[in-house]
């Protein structure tokens, strides 16, 4: 499920942190890593013809930086390819992922404390909306300013403790094969979480009294999914609660100190549309990596 990964790079401090994660993805089954840099044509549109002569120089500089990144990846045991394009970053990333038929887009996000000063932080949400395949958003906390700027939350434990949230809807059922494939490739301890929407926050007993049939069916589906994961995952726990889905996902992730959150979202969208309520809120508010699976 992780055999071919697309990693967009912008040569910012985020890129350096993302590069630190390549080795861990390799241990999870990655065979090929595609490094993509997109020169943002729109950012220079106001300069008109004055910028045209500079494009070749920008491309040459970017190629050198891509070569340097490739050398850094020389010892992780996977094939590395480089792609350089000019265009709209989010659109180009999504299109390249489809053209290359990658298993996953691995992109930098923002997390809490983000200041929008780097390219990837400004386009990651658009990539999530446009992509027709899974997107892993690596979140960070930003500390300090200027020379003291530091990025926390890289990937030293990306696959250590995975939280999987499912609503067991008809869309979730379509995601099940991908979910099982990713979870079993991680071979990590897993917590399965189902949040039944409602005002109660008193857990299973209240859910059971309020809607016995639905709660029992969801519990059955959760146990069935847990059984599918247990042959490959060393530990599988289940949680069933009632309330606001996004809020509970973030709460449980913090309580168990999840290293990764997996959620589902409806297929790819246009640039101006929303990704989808729960997934969008989780990605925006999480301070830890989020893997968004697509129907």
Q: Taking residues 14-26, what's their average pLDDT?
A: 82
Angle ∠(186,279,232) on CA atoms, nearest 5: 20
How many distinct structural domains can be found in the chain?
A: 2
Whether residue 277 lies inside any domain: the answer is: no
List the structure tokens of 94. 């999504």
Instruction: Please give the residue range of the domain that contains residue 246.
Output: 162-258
147 and 8 part of one domain: yes
- Evaluate whether residue 92 is within a structural domain: yes
Which of 49-58, 127-136, 146-155 is least confident? 146-155
Q: What is the pLDDT of residues 39-95, one digit of tens each?
A: 987 766 555 555 566 778 888 999 999 999 999 887 788 899 999 999 999 999 999
Q: Are residues 19 and 115 in the same domain?
A: yes
The span from the CA of 26 to the CA of 242, in Å, is: 37
CATH code: domain of residue 69: 3.40.50.620
**pLDDT band at 35; cut points 50, 70, 90:** very high
Whether 245 and 167 share a structural domain: yes
Q: Are residues 127 and 226 in the same domain?
A: no
- Whole-prediction pTM value? 0.83
Give me the DSSP letters along 145-192.
Answer: SGGG-EEE--STTTTSSEEEE---SHHHHHHHHHHHHHHHHHT--EEE
Residue 208's CB: how many other CB atoms inside 10 A? Answer: 16
Same domain (yes/no): 127, 245:
no
């Amino acid at each position: 499920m992780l055999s071919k990964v697309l990693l967009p790079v912008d040569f910012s401090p985020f890129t350096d942190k993302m590069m630190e994660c390549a080795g861990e993805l390799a241990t999870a089954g990655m065979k090929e890593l595609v490094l993509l840099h997109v020169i943002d044509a729109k950012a220079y549109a106001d300069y008109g013809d004055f910028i045209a002569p500079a494009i070749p120089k920008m491309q040459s500089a970017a190629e050198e930086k891509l070569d340097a990144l490739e050398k850094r990846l020389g010892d992780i045991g996977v094939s590395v390819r480089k792609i350089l394009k000019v265009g709209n970053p989010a659109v180009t990333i999504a299109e390249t992922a489809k053209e290359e038929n990658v298993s996953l887009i691995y992109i930098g996000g923002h997390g809490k404390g983000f200041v929008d000063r780097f390219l990837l932080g400004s386009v990651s949400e658009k990539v999530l909306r446009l992509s027709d395949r899974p997107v892993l958003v690596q979140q960070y906390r930003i500390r300090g300013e200027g020379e003291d700027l530091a990025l926390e939350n890289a990937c030293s434990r990306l696959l250590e403790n995975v939280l999987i949230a499912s609503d067991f809807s008809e869309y979730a059922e379509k995601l099940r094969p991908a979910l099982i494939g990713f979870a079993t490739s991680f071979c990590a301890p897993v917590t399965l979480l189902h949040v039944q929407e409602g005002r109660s926050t008193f857990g299973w007993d209240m859910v059971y009294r309020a809607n016995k049939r639905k709660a029992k069916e969801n519990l059955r589906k959760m146990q069935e999914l847990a059984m599918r994961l247990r042959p490959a995952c060393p530990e599988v726990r289940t949680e069933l609660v009632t309330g606001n889905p996004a809020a509970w996902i973030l709460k449980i992730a913090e309580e168990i100190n999840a290293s990764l959150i997996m959620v589902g979202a409806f297929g790819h969208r246009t640039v101006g549309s929303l990704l989808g309520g729960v997934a969008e809120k989780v990605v925006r508010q999480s301070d830890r990596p989020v893997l968004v699976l697509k129907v």
